[in-house]
Amino acid sequence: MRPESEEDLSHVIRSAREPLTPIGGGTRLRPGEGQGERLNVSGLTGITLYEPAALTLVVRAGTRLSEVREALAAEGQMLAFEPDLRPNSTMGGIVAANASGPRRVQAGACRDALLGLRYVDGQGEVIQNGGRVMKNVTGYDLVKLMAGSRGQLGVLTELSFKTAPIPPCAATLALPGLDAASAVAALTLALTGPYDVSGAAWLPGQGALIRVEGLEGSVAIRGQALSERLARFGEVAMAEADPWSRMVPTAAEGDLWRIICRPSEAPGLLAALPQPLALDWGGSLIWVAMPPGEAPSLPAWSGHASRVTGAAPLTLPAPNPVVQRLNASLRERFDPRGIFASGSSCRPILQKSS
Amino acid sequence: MLMPDPDPRILARREAIAARLRAVVPSAVIDDPAETRAYECDALSAYRCPPLAVVLPATTEEVAAVLRVCHEEGVPVVPRGAGTSLAGGSMPTADAVVVGLARMNGVIETNLDDRFIRVQAGRTNLSVSGVVDGAGFFYAPDPSSQLACAIGGNIGMNSGGAHCLKYGVTTNNLLGVTLVLMDGSVVELGGPMGEAPGLDLLGVVCGSEGQLGIVTEATLRILPKPAGARPVLVAFDASETAGACVAAIIRAGVLPVAIEFMDRPCIRATEEFAHAGYPDCEALLIIEVEGTPPEIDEQLRLIRAIAERFDPIEFRESRSEDESRRIWLGRKSAFGAMGQINDYMCLDGTIPVSTLPQVLAGIARLSGEYGLDVANVFHAGDGNMHPLILYNANTPGDLERCEALGAEILKLCVEVGGCLTGEHGVGVEKRELMTTQFSQTDLEAQMRVKDVFDPGWLLNAAKVFPLAVSAPRREGIRNAA
């Protein structure tokens, strides 16, 4: 099914008798998702409004990220949250996954750039929330609730974003001598000083990576100051190629896991894990491959870990029962007939971290 | 202001309810009518109603115990931070228990390496920055009332401030909360990076105006302070030109941390009050940039080049701490100054910045029609207007005329693609205007969220939604009781 308009979509949902899985480009599905009949949203396309002087973009949810990037670049702008580019990736899919890249440490996540949206709920009702202005506290913020809801509450049809100017200049410092655990201290130093860092990551073979962006003179000043402060961690070099578009790794073997933690907790977690595939967000995000079906055995920490590829969904530690009840009740209110099959990340998960 | 009639069954049980509350928080219950008057209103002081009782708990456990009692008794609850809401967000009804967070003002954890601070929700906004200032950090959202307003209230209203253009509003700087639900259950929402598995419950709680639960603790993102900051003042002979200059600066890819706008009536009033030495002009912009001195110079060179295309009357660049302070002085005294010369009502509708000239012209026209002066001071970079409507509270009918003009201005904001409120919240003040921005279906979707968190509609229930729209839920509960 590939509706061409919001009305078509609403009709499809109203008349559905079996579970549906809303799909954009289908590039960000997780284990357990995509089991209903595919409801392809990629027919709802097009930029409906773009005002560069107001930093505002409104697009239909099926519009491809590549098209949006091109339109913005033509005006010297970008999506500051830097979603990773995957072939066929749509804006609806990006919002449904709250997909956010390295610049999150400076500019926030997808949900922070999302100003408003329209969606069709499980009863086929068309609902709008938020708007197209940067400050808006009128009514409940369903925009945040829908961002990252993975198609469980409704099908996104139109999205408005805050855009940002592309910085005229960027520089990436590399500390190639650091392993993942020791990189965290260097990233923390960069993020806790007045350097306005827009990327703080670690990649195997490349070491710690720190990006500053802005006007040319400013980038030179901050780059220099950072190099001096970071010298105590070893060699500091300018990174040659731009590493920032490759921060979401794939697991060549095994299941890909995504772990969220406080940076100060990262070294302890890394000690209990195989060599990671990447660190991002100053060490708050760890990407690691685990043998198929195996869960990492981690010391208690304040974040969570989820399996991103593999056979079965799993999130550690098990969510709090009250939070689970709130999640389940919200799904029931937005989709009382249980039409949206997508996702099991909110379903009670009984396995516990050992 | 129409509020639901108090439930006579609750009023009749005042003493019994107070006694039950005292049993769980012995020294923190106020029910003497002479003392509950202190809680009869917030900063929307035109509307007052003393509550049934006030409770000032000291811990999350006490808040939970109080809510459990109110839940069992079917008593409405109104959460209150510092009572600085301009929208009536913490205005009580006669049958409601006010749960005030004033005693919960402690710091729980400061973690500079992980860039967060965890505080009790009654702590004032400015004193959060105060804790980490010495270490070179700050908490970014800076509402004008930041000296007095509480973090819990900031979260309830998703408060903004002058520096949102770069740093965002409360929701963009909130990493987690402890939330007490109306049935007394306690949940932790959020986590590192503000993320938790499942739905973004933290995101929908922020800005829910105390209708989903009571926030007792909050984890806030703190940021390293920039090396320095410097404002410039640019004066123009027409408001439209100032508006066009704002658009040109943003379009050029320069993103100052703040762009503030003041028009002539506002400039005149603040000059008389604060003597900031502002130029004689129709409109002025205060633009602030951050960084080391050479970085600031680099940005200001660009901004000057853009501004000069609009023939400014003056481009005043600060060359010292004292000059910076004087440039901000008038803007920061604007509300106080207006309060000296008149009663005023402050709106905060937000508009797409491209519609600024159109909206300013529309406000001037409406101001003439209603015969009330309007002064404009606002966050121009993000389109968050703050028209101040001047009226005289002692003139019969003036307040009503002022409110009617306010409603027309907000409808204009919605018509051009904006919204009713950018940072103050809906509260009771803009409740009845919600249908100009939302369809019944849109409001129904929002109310379903409240159904989940507060099925009995006891928490701050007569706010946000038009009374007639929320009535079946509020009254259905009562009749079933």
pLDDT tens per residue, range B411-468: 999 999 999 999 999 999 999 999 999 999 999 999 999 999 999 999 999 999 999 9
Q: Which amino acid is at A279?
A: L
Interchain CB contact of B452 with A (< 8 Å):
yes
| 3-state SS assignment for residue A255 | strand
Residue A353 has pLDDT above 50, yes or no: no
Q: Which residue of chain A has the CA closest to B447?
A: A140
Which residues of chain B make contact with A144, given a CB cutoff of 8 A? 171, 200, 202-204, 206
* Angle subtended at Cα A155 by Cα A153 and Cα A158, rounded to the nearest 5 degrees: 125
Cα B444 to Cα B209, B305, B448, B453: the distances in Å are: 17, 50, 6, 15
Phi/psi of residue A350, nearest 5 degrees: -95, -20
CA A163, A164, A168, A174 dihedral sign is negative
Report the distance separating Cα A268 and Cα A297, nearest Å: 12
How confident is residue B341, by pLDDT bands cut at 50, 70 and 90? confident
A262 and B254: CB-CB below 8 Å?
no
Does residue A73 belong to the interface with chain B, where contact is any CB pair within 8 Å? Answer: no
Where does residue A82 fall: left (phi above 0), alpha (psi -120 to 50 degrees), or beta otherwise? left
Nearest to A304 among B196, B225, B292 (CB): B196
Mark A84-119 as b/e (b = at least 16 C-beta within 10 Å). Answer: bebeebbbbbbbbbbbbbbbbbbbbbbbbbbbbbbb
What backbone torsions phi and psi does residue A306 show, to the nearest 5 degrees? Answer: -135, 145
Residues in Cβ contact with B81 at an 8 Å cutoff, skipping those fewer than 6 apart: B90, B100, B101, B121, B122, B149, B150, B151, B152, B153, B154, B156
The answer to whether A318 contacts chain B (CB < 8 Å) is no
Half-sphere exposure of A61 (CA within 13 A, CB side): 32
Asked whether the predicted pLDDT for residue A347 surpasses 70, the reply is no
- Close Cβ partners of A77 (under 8 Å, ≥ 6 residues apart): A52, A55, A163, A164, A165, A166
A162 and A71 in contact (C-beta within 8 Å)? no
Q: Is B411 in the A-facing interface, judged by CB distances under 8 Å?
A: no
Q: Which of B207, B441, B448 sits opposite A137 (nearest CB)?
A: B207
Check B250 against A53: CB less than 8 A apart: yes
Residue A264 is nearest to which of B113, B354, B383, comparing CB atoms?
B113
Contact B192 A142 (CB under 8 A): no
Please tell me if residue A353 touches chain B, with a CB cutoff of 8 Å.
no
Mutate to test the interface with B, among A134, A163, A280 (most CBs of B within 10 A): A134
- Rounded to the nearest angstrom, the gap between the alpha carbon of residue B372 and the centroid of all alpha carbons in its chain is 25
Is B441 touching A (CB cutoff 8 A)? yes
Could you tell me which of B48, B190, B64 has the C-alpha nearest to residue B118?
B190
The DSSP annotation for B310-363 comes to T--SEEEE--SHHHHHHHHHHHHTHHHHHHHH-EEEE-B-B--GGGHHHHHHHH
Q: Which amino acid is at A216?
A: E
**Distances from the Cα of A57 to the Cαs of A49, A60, A160, in angstroms?**
6, 10, 6
> Is there a contact between B42 and B85 (Cβ–Cβ < 8 Å)?
yes
- Inter-chain touch A304–B195, beta carbons under 8 Å: yes
Predicted confidence band at A341 (pLDDT cuts at 50, 70, 90)?
Answer: confident
Q: In the Cβ-directed half-sphere of A227, how many Cα atoms lie within 13 Å? A: 15
Mutate which of A51, A135, A184 to disrupt the B interface (most B C-beta within 10 Å)? A135
Say what the pLDDT of residue B335 is.
81
Residue A346 has pLDDT above 70, yes or no: no
Backbone φ, ψ for residue B28 (5° rounding): -125, 20
Mean pLDDT across chain A, nearest whole number?
94
pLDDT for B476 equals 76
> Min CA distance, B298 vs chain A (Å)?
7
B233 has a pLDDT exceeding 70: yes
Q: Is the pLDDT of residue B230 over 80?
A: yes
Q: Which residues contact A317 (CB under 8 A, 6 or more apart)?
A: A300, A304, A352, A353
Residue of B113, B144, B306 for testing the chain A interface, max A β-carbons within 10 Å: B113
* Position B187 confidence tier, pLDDT thresholds 50, 70, 90: very high
pLDDT score, position B195:
96
- Is A119:A311 a contact under the CB 8 Å cutoff? no
Interface of A with B in 28-57 (CB under 8 A): 51-56
- Calpha distance A319→A342 (Å, rounded): 19
| pLDDT of A345 | 41
Structure tokens given for A352: 């516990």
Burial of A4 (C-beta count, 10 Å sphere; 0-12/13-18/19+): exposed
A319 touching B, CB under 8 A?
yes
**SS3 of B431-467:** HHHHHHHCCHHHHHHHHHHHHHHCCCCCECCCCCCCH
Q: Confirm or reject contact between B310 and chain A (CB < 8 A).
A: no
* Lowest pLDDT segment from A279-288, B161-170, B180-189: B161-170
Is A344's pLDDT higher than 90?
no
Interatomic CA distance for residues B40 and A60, integer angstroms? 47
Q: Tell me the pLDDT tens digit for each residue of A144-193.
A: 999 999 999 999 999 999 999 999 999 999 999 999 999 999 999 999 99
- Structure confidence at residue B480 (pLDDT): 52
pLDDT at B477: 58
Residue B469 three-state SS: helix
For residue B326, report the phi and psi dihedrals to the nearest 5 degrees. -70, -35
The more confident residue out of B305 and B378 is B305
Chain centroid offset of residue B261 CA:
19
CB contact under 8 A, B299 and A327: no
User: CA distances (Å), B202 to each of A109, A141, A197, A348, in order?
Assistant: 14, 10, 26, 19
Region A74-95: mean pLDDT is 96
**Percent of chain B predicted with pLDDT > 90:** 85
CB contact under 8 Å between A323 and B352, yes or no, is: no
Cα dihedral A86/A87/A92/A95 (nearest 10) = 0
For chain B, how many residues are written?
Answer: 481
pTM of the predicted protein model: 0.96
Residue A291 C-alpha, separation from nearest chain B C-alpha, in angstroms:
22
Q: Give the whole-angstrom CA distance, residue A79 versus residue A164.
A: 6
The model's pLDDT over A291-303, given as tens digits with 9 standing for 90+, comes to 999 999 999 999 9
The predicted model gives A90-108 an average pLDDT of 97
pLDDT at residue B479 in the model: 53
- Please judge whether A166 and B253 are an interchain contact, meaning their C-beta atoms are less than 8 angstroms apart: yes
Q: Which amino acid is at A272?
A: A
Task: Please count the CA atoms within 13 angstroms of the CA of A136 that sit on its side-chain side.
Answer: 30
- A218 to B298: CB separation less than 8 angstroms, yes or no: yes
Q: DSSP letter string over B31-81?
A: --HHHHGGGS--S-TT-----SEEE--SSHHHHHHHHHHHHHHT--EEEES
SS3 B370: helix
Q: What is the pLDDT of residues B37-83, one digit of tens each?
A: 999 999 998 899 999 999 999 999 999 999 999 999 999 999 999 99
Looking up tokens 């930041």, which residue turns up?
B146
Which two tokens mark B94? 């006669």
Contact A111/B at CB under 8 A: yes
Interface residue of A106, A110, A137 to substitute, partner B, most B CBs within 10 Å: A137
The residue in chain A having the minimum alpha-carbon distance to the alpha carbon of residue B190 is A303
Residue of chain B minimizing CA distance to A348? B198
CB atoms inside a 10 Å sphere around CB B254: 18
Q: Which of B163, B222, B347, B419 is the mutation pick for testing A, counting most A CBs within 10 A?
A: B419
pLDDT at site B207: 98
Shortest distance, CA A158 to any CA of chain B (angstroms): 15
Mean pLDDT of A234-243: 92
Separation of alpha carbons A249 and A90, rounded Å: 19
Residue B96 has pLDDT above 70, yes or no: yes
Distance, in angstroms, between B65 CA and closest chain A CA? 17
What percentage of chain B has pLDDT greater than the value 70?
99
**Average pLDDT value for residue range B219-236:** 96
B301 touches chain A (CB under 8 A): no
**A133: which chain B residues are within 8 Å (Cβ-Cβ)?**
350-352, 382-384, 417-419, 422
Predicted confidence at residue A349, as pLDDT, reads 32
Mean pLDDT of the region B340-353: 90
Contact B207 A140 (CB under 8 A): yes
Distance of alpha carbon B234 from alpha carbon B221, whole angstroms: 33
- The reported pLDDT for the residue numbered B342 is 84
Contacts of residue A318 in chain B, CB cutoff 8 Å?
none
ipTM of the complex, rounded to two decimals: 0.96
A121 touches chain B (CB under 8 A): yes
Please check the confidence at residue B360 and state whether its pLDDT lies above 70: yes
Contacts of B445 in chain A (CB under 8 A): 121, 125, 127, 129, 142, 334
pLDDT at residue number A240: 80
* Mean pLDDT of all residues belonging to chain B: 94
Q: Residue A343: is its pLDDT beyond 80?
A: no
Residue A67 CA, chain-centre distance (Å), reads: 19
- Which of B203, B383, B441 minimises the CB distance to A141? B203
A347 touches chain B (CB under 8 A): no
Q: Are B63 and B57 in contact (CB under 8 A)?
A: yes
Interface subset of B 229-288, CB within 8 angstroms of A: 247-248, 250-255
Distance from CA of A203 to the nearest CA of B (A): 20
pLDDT confidence band for B481 (50 / 70 / 90): very low
Residue B307 tokens read as 């501004």
Chain B 121-150, residues with CB within 8 Å of chain A CB atoms = 136-137
Structure tokens at B298: 């680099």
Question: Which one-letter amino acid corresponds to residue A171?
Answer: A
B225 touches chain A (CB under 8 A): yes
Cis preceding-peptide flag for A317 (omega within 30 of 0):
yes
Q: Say yes or no to pLDDT of A354 above 50.
A: no
The per-residue pLDDT for range B238-283, each reduced to its tens digit, is: 988 998 999 899 889 888 999 999 999 899 988 888 888 999 999 9
Q: Beta partners for A212?
A: A171, A197
pLDDT in tens, A32-64: 998 899 999 989 999 999 999 899 999 999 999
Taking the Cβ of residue A3 and every Cβ of chain B, the question of whether any pair is shorter than 8 Å is answered with no
| H or E element at residue A333 | helix A321-334
Output the pLDDT for position B272.
Answer: 87
The mean per-residue pLDDT over the stretch A116-143 comes to: 97
